[in-house]
């Protein structure tokens, strides 16, 4: 703090020098000095959730006559400013801190207490409004931090992720309808298979997103149970019996979320199974997005040396050395976010194993990675929809040409002329560079009328009873 003006504040361990202009106090300053690890703090969405909790707590405590009205009003005003992001720069504790998140809970308590003092025209740090005794009344870091994690994650899902996923699903479904009449070659094992319609392929992608959305909604409902009111170990010591219900009701009103007090505070504070389950659904979505983005890259590969069945929109020059090159950069951004989300899930899984007796002690990094997984996915999904999927075009002639030249076209002949004979036709077609149609005609295996019927590519994209020999 050399060269900086400071004030002296005290906590239970003694005097601490705090920057003079800071709203935070002694415990926050100790944490800043103790954890100079990454320079990464809790994300703004989490800080907003802390503001919501402190505002609701002050209102509930006033109703329960545990707080003087004048003090409660000042705390609520300070908490509202935190909720609105007006004091984000005051949250200075590194994410790699005490595993309960106590340092950040106290960061919030001190900021709100000192701002409330200022509103009452009192000196910062005077403790006339006490960070622990009044702002943190009926609370513990052990129930506040997981509650904030749940609120932040649910708000991100409702406001950002679900709308982004719905827009992507609709865009893919629209492409499925648009491309329904375009027949293309199917592929299994990266090799030719029987024909499908391009619309069927895109319909599969739309269904993947639809199913991922349903999984996320179901898993997110587990976060609607809040541990607030359990205080230190789940017993609710030093909390009014009606505090949790009243505070959570107010949080629900402020957020529009369907929230309720947990049925069992010991489970809610000792374990983070609901977070683990939600993270797993986000990982599943990441895998789905990886499949879709990779397919689009392959299907658009070229323009001369690849598959080239679709064209992705050109968004930026692709090379610093090759003029005119355009790359599938939006798809690549999706792939990188998906990789990050899978990594977040691995971190969250390990954190979930740290529920020792009555408390999980890896909540800060768990909260960070959960929020990152939700926000990053929502952001890249929106880009993917707008800058890529919605503007995809089909290369109809390329699709038709690849279908006609594929040896897999022989498949509907097998039930009529036999598997072995059909295989020989496919092998000859591949070796000679001719089409299956041309080889079958040359060998007069069937009449031209029968061949035209059996080798109708669009007919192959529907279920059908095998032709008889």
Distance CA 85, CA 429 (A): 68
Q: What is the predicted pLDDT for the residue at 466? A: 84
Q: What is the predicted pLDDT for the residue at 2? A: 55
Residues 318 and 376 in one domain: yes
Question: By three-state DSSP, how is residue 354 classified?
Answer: coil
Closest to 27 (Cα-Cα) out of 46, 12, 42, 43: 12
Taking phi over 0 as left and psi of -120 to 50 as alpha, with beta for the rest, 2 belongs to: beta
Whether 467 is in a domain gets the answer no
Residue 1 has pLDDT above 60, yes or no: no
Are the beta carbons of 155 and 144 closer than 8 angstroms? no
- Please report, for the domain that includes residue 384, its CATH number: 1.20.200.10
Distance CA 461, CA 197 (A): 7
**Cβ–Cβ contacts within 10 Å for residue 448, how many?**
11
Residues 45 and 150 in one domain: no
> Which distant-in-sequence residues (6+ apart) come within 8 Å of 90 by Cβ?
22, 23, 24, 107, 111
Distance CA 90, CA 84 (A): 13
Whether 250 is in a domain gets the answer no
Q: How confident is the model over 263-297, as pLDDT tens digits?
A: 999 999 999 999 999 999 999 999 999 999 999 99
**What's the mean per-residue pLDDT of the chain?**
97
Q: Which residues share a beta bridge with 184? A: 196
Q: Is 211 exposed, middle or buried (0-12, 13-18, 19+ CB in 10 A)?
A: middle
Residues 163 and 306 in one domain: yes
Give the count of alpha carbons within 13 A of 394, CB side only. 19
Residue 3 banded pLDDT, cuts 50, 70, 90: low
Q: What is the predicted pLDDT for the residue at 467? A: 83
What global pTM score does this model have? 0.96
Interior angle at CA 224, CA 40 and CA 286, nearest 5? 55
Residues 293 and 350 in one domain: yes
Residues 112 and 153 in one domain: no
Q: What is the predicted pLDDT for the residue at 74? A: 98
Are the beta carbons of 453 and 191 closer than 8 angstroms? no
Residues 273 and 343 in one domain: yes
Question: By three-state DSSP, how is residue 196 classified?
Answer: strand
Averaged pLDDT, 396-422: 97
- Please report, for the domain that includes residue 440, its CATH number: 1.10.40.30
Averaged pLDDT, 327-332: 98
- Please report, for the domain that includes residue 49, its CATH number: 1.10.275.10
Whether 256 is in a domain gets the answer no
Q: Which residues share a beta bridge with 15? A: 10
Q: How confident is the model over 186-204, as pLDDT tens digits?
A: 999 999 999 999 999 999 9
Distance CA 444, CA 361 (A): 76
Question: By three-state DSSP, how is residue 17 classified?
Answer: strand
End position of a domain, from candidates 346, 376, 397: 397
Distance of CA 277 to the CA centre of its chain: 13
Q: How confident is the model over 146-170, as pLDDT tens digits?
A: 999 999 999 999 999 999 999 999 9
Radius of gyration of the chain (CA): 30
Whether 258 is in a domain gets the answer no
Q: What share of the chain is helix, strand, coil (3-state, %, to 5)?
A: 60, 10, 30
**Cβ–Cβ contacts within 10 Å for residue 264, how many?**
13
Range of the structural domain that residue 19 is part of = 6-137
Whether 232 is in a domain gets the answer yes
Q: What is the predicted pLDDT for the residue at 4? A: 76
Q: What is the predicted pLDDT for the residue at 387? A: 98
Distance of CA 291 to the CA centre of its chain: 16
Whether 94 is in a domain gets the answer yes
Within 334-428, strands assigned E span 355-356, 359-360, 393-394
Q: How confident is the model over 208-236, as pLDDT tens digits?
A: 999 999 999 999 999 999 999 999 999 99
For residue 138, give both structure tokens: 């009926």
Residue 446 has pLDDT above 80, yes or no: yes
Structural domains of the chain, count:
3
Are the beta carbons of 367 and 101 closer than 8 angstroms? yes
Catalytic residues: 189, 319
Whether 1 is in a domain gets the answer no
Residues 129 and 150 in one domain: no
Averaged pLDDT, 329-356: 98
Residues 63 and 191 in one domain: no
Are the beta carbons of 46 and 148 closer than 8 angstroms? yes
Residues 384 and 452 in one domain: no
Residues 132 and 149 in one domain: no
Q: DSSP secondary structure string, 410-442?
A: GGGGHHHH-HHHHHHHHHHHHHHT--HHHHHHH
**Cβ–Cβ contacts within 10 Å for residue 254, how many?**
17
Residues 83 and 114 in one domain: yes
Whether 249 is in a domain gets the answer no
Q: What is the predicted pLDDT for the residue at 468? A: 79
End position of a domain, from candidates 137, 168, 195: 137
Distance CA 310, CA 169 (A): 19
Residues 421 and 373 in one domain: no
Distance CA 64, CA 66 (A): 5
Give the count of alpha carbons within 13 A of 365, CB side only. 19
- Tell me the percentage of the chain whose pLDDT exceeds 70: 99
Q: DSSP secondary structure string, 99-165?
A: TT-HHHHHHHHHHHHHHHHHHTT--TT--SS-IIIIITTT--HHHHHHHHHHHHHHHHIIIIIHHHH
Q: What is the 8-class DSSP label of residue 312?
A: P
Q: How confident is the model over 290-327, as pLDDT tens digits?
A: 999 999 999 999 999 999 999 999 999 999 999 999 99
């Amino acid at each position: 703090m050399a060269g900086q003006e400071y004030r002296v504040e005290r906590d239970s361990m003694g005097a601490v020098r705090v920057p003079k202009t800071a709203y935070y106090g002694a415990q926050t300053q100790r944490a800043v000095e103790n954890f100079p690890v990454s320079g990464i703090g809790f994300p703004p969405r989490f800080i907003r959730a802390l503001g919501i909790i402190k505002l609701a707590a002050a209102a509930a405590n006033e109703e329960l006559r545990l707080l003087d009205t004048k003090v409660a009003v000042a705390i609520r005003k300070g908490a509202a400013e935190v909720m609105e992001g007006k004091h984000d720069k005051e949250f200075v504790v590194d994410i790699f801190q005490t595993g309960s998140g106590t340092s950040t809970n106290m960061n919030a308590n001190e900021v709100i207490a000192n701002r409330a003092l200022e509103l009452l025209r009192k000196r910062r740090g005077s403790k006339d409004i006490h960070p622990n005794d009044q702002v943190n009344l009926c609370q513990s870091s052990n129930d506040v931090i997981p509650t904030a994690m749940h609120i932040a994650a649910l708000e991100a899902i409702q406001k950002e992720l679900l709308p982004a996923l719905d827009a992507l699903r609709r865009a893919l479904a629209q492409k499925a309808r648009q491309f329904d009449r375009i027949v293309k070659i199917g592929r299994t094992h990266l090799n030719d298979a029987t024909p499908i319609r391009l619309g069927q392929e895109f319909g599969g992608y739309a269904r993947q997103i639809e199913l991922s959305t349903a999984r996320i909604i179901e898993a997110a409902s587990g976060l609607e149970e809040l541990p607030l009111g359990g205080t230190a170990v789940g017993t609710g010591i030093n909390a009014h019996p009606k505090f949790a219900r009243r505070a959570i009701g107010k949080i629900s009103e402020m957020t529009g979320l369907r929230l309720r007090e947990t049925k069992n505070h010991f489970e809610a504070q000792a374990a983070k199974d609901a977070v683990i389950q939600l993270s797993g659904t986000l990982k599943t979505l990441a895998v789905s997005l990886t499949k879709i983005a990779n397919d689009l890259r392959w299907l658009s590969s070229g323009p001369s040396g690849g598959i080239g069945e679709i064209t992705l929109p050109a968004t930026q020059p692709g090379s610093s050395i090759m003029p005119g090159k355009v790359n599938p950069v939006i798809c690549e951004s999706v792939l990188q976010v998906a990789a990050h989300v899978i990594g977040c899930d691995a971190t969250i899984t390990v954190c979930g194993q740290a529920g020792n007796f009555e408390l999980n002690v890896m909540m800060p990094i768990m909260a960070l990675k959960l929020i990152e997984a939700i926000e990053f996915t929502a952001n890249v999904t929106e880009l993917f929809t707008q800058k890529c999927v919605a503007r995809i075009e089909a290369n109809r002639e390329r699709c038709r040409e690849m279908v006609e030249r594929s040896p897999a076209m022989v498949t509907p002949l097998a039930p009529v002329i036999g598997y072995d004979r059909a295989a020989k036709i496919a092998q000859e077609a591949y070796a000679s560079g001719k089409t299956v149609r041309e080889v079958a005609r040359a060998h007069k295996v069937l009449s031209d009328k029968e061949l035209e019927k059996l080798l109708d590519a669009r007919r192959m994209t529907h279920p059908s009873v095998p032709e008889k020999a």
